[in-house]
């Protein structure tokens, strides 16, 4: 390692992301092997595991803010990141410093090489070890996909929650709500708090894992939250219930310090949202409708849209098109991207857009966004990150990651 940690950071990220060559395995063998190779960091703190189709990241962020407001030391692991890999691992509310990653990361990468861990397994293990080294009181792990075979399920959580169950990742998790709920409910543990805000169709499958399942209702005493939308009120209510379940009841005001970018996030005249599947698009559409009917409507909307080729983008377009005046289709900087030109049929003939443009770059699309409109960027977390970086003058993609030659 050189004397300049920042100069070593790109090399560290390159080595970490190269682990994808081992494949995105769906098994707990790798995470368990990583935990053992790192001397069992999971035993150093209490863990909470949160899964779900949508809303799990926001719920994690609300819970972390509530616990930190009470003076607890917290660790938060989420994925994917929007702009910087450091966003995936937070220590006491802050993205992990580059110097901390470079101090601990090589040990994790060496272990990953020995057990042939994947990128996601190594990232989870890096978070688990950093939380132990930092001495956190509570670590919050967001499930990446599913639950039963996700790395986060290698924990023995003191409490678990499934936020929602919808149709996403159907090739891996199943094609029905009960099938997907069965995968997600595996994060519950017998005799330990198991909470959900999922709808009725998912409940029997979730209860098969946790007969003690508690269904959480939206609280009526929440203040105006930093994260807008009715769905965030549900996520906040679940976070408060989780805090109480692990012995740290929090006040609604404790949620006001939450930070979770890319969720109806306003930057000047642009709204950025990570909606990347049909349920998320429906929640975004409901927020748009409520905002337009409120005291400070958004005004005419211009949509910048792009997505991943493995996502069901048609229903997302169906939800958003009637609510916007114009659309520009773009191609995100990510290898699984859908090409902008291929998205045009999703919007043609829909009730909303009066103008449909097929572009290439989200940055160029933002620079030529129409005056007098609010611009909405949606369709993918990766697109949201790219837009956010452009608007805030941040490097994207970080250290060349995610790019594919055009």
The whole-number average pLDDT for the span 153-178 is 85
Q: Beta partners for 134?
A: none
Q: How much is the pTM?
A: 0.93
C-alpha to C-alpha distance for 319 and 157, rounded to whole angstroms = 36
Domain ranges of the chain: 5-257, 265-400
At residue 406, does pLDDT exceed 50?
A: no
At residue 86, does pLDDT exceed 80?
A: yes
Cβ-Cβ contacts under 8 Å for 370 (sequence gap 6 or more)? 302, 326
pLDDT in the model for residue 400? 65
Cβ–Cβ < 8 Å for 235, 57: no
C-alpha to C-alpha distance for 233 and 238, rounded to whole angstroms = 9
pLDDT in the model for residue 401? 65
Q: Which residue has the higher pLDDT, 54 or 299?
A: 299
List, for residues 305-335, the tens digit of each pLDDT value: 999 988 889 999 999 999 999 999 999 887 7
C-alpha to C-alpha distance for 92 and 90, rounded to whole angstroms = 6
pLDDT in the model for residue 399? 74
Do the two domains 5-257 and 265-400 of this chain adopt the same fold? no
* Token pair in block for residue 123: 């990232």
At residue 374, does pLDDT exceed 60?
A: yes
CATH architecture of 265-400: Alpha-Beta Complex (3.90)
pLDDT in the model for residue 169? 67
pLDDT in the model for residue 380? 93
List, for residues 209-223, the tens digit of each pLDDT value: 999 999 999 999 999
Give the CATH fold of the 5-257 domain. 3.40.1190
Cα 291 to Cα 296, 341, 384, 387: the distances in Å are 7, 31, 20, 22
The whole-number average pLDDT for the span 178-204 is 94
The residue whose two tokens read 């045009």 is: 344
Please state, for a pLDDT cut of 70, what percent of the chain lies above it.
Answer: 94
pLDDT in the model for residue 396? 86
Cβ–Cβ < 8 Å for 356, 315: no
């Amino acid at each position: 390692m050189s004397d300049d940690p920042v100069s070593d950071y790109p090399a560290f990220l390159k080595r970490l992301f190269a682990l994808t060559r081992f494949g995105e395995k769906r098994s707990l063998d790798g995470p368990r092997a990583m935990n053992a190779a790192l001397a069992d960091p999971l035993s150093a703190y209490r863990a909470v595991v949160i899964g779900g189709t949508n809303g799990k990241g926001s719920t994690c962020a609300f819970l972390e803010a509530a616990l930190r407001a009470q003076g607890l030391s917290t660790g938060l692991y989420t994925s994917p990141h929007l702009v910087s890999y450091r966003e995936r691992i937070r220590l006491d509310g802050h993205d992990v410093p580059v110097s901390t990653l470079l101090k601990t990361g090589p040990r994790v990468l060496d272990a990953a090489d020995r057990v042939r861990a994947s990128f996601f397994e190594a990232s989870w293990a890096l978070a688990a070890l950093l939380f132990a080294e930092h001495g956190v009181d509570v670590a919050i792990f967001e499930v990446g996909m599913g639950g039963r075979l996700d790395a986060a399920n290698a924990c023995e959580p003191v409490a678990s929650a499934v936020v929602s169950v919808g149709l996403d990742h159907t090739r891996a998790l199943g094609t029905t709500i009960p099938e997907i709920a069965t995968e997600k409910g595996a994060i519950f543990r017998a005799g330990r708090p198991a909470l959900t805000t999922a709808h009725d169709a998912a409940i029997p499958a979730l209860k098969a894992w946790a007969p003690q399942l508690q269904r959480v209702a939206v609280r009526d005493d929440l203040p105006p939250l930093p994260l807008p939308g009715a769905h965030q009120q549900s996520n906040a209510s679940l976070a408060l219930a989780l805090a109480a379940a692990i012995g740290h009841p929090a006040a609604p005001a404790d949620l006001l310090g939450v930070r979770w970018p890319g969720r109806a996030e306003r930057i000047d005249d642009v709204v950025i949202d990570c909606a990347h599947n049909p349920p998320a698009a429906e929640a975004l559409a409901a927020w748009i409708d409520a905002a337009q009917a409120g005291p400070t409507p958004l005004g005419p909307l211009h949509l910048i849209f792009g997505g991943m080729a493995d996502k069901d983008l048609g229903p997302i377009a169906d939800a958003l098109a009637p609510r916007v005046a114009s659309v520009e289709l773009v191609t995100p900087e990510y290898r699984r991207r859908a090409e902008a030109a291929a998205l045009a049929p999703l919007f043609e003939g829909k009730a909303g857009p009066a103008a449909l443009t097929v572009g290439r770059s989200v940055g160029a699309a933002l620079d030529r966004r129409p005056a007098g409109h609010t611009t909405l960027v949606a369709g993918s977390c990766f697109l949201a990150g790219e837009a956010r970086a452009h608007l805030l003058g941040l490097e994207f993609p970080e250290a060349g990651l995610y790019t594919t030659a055009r």
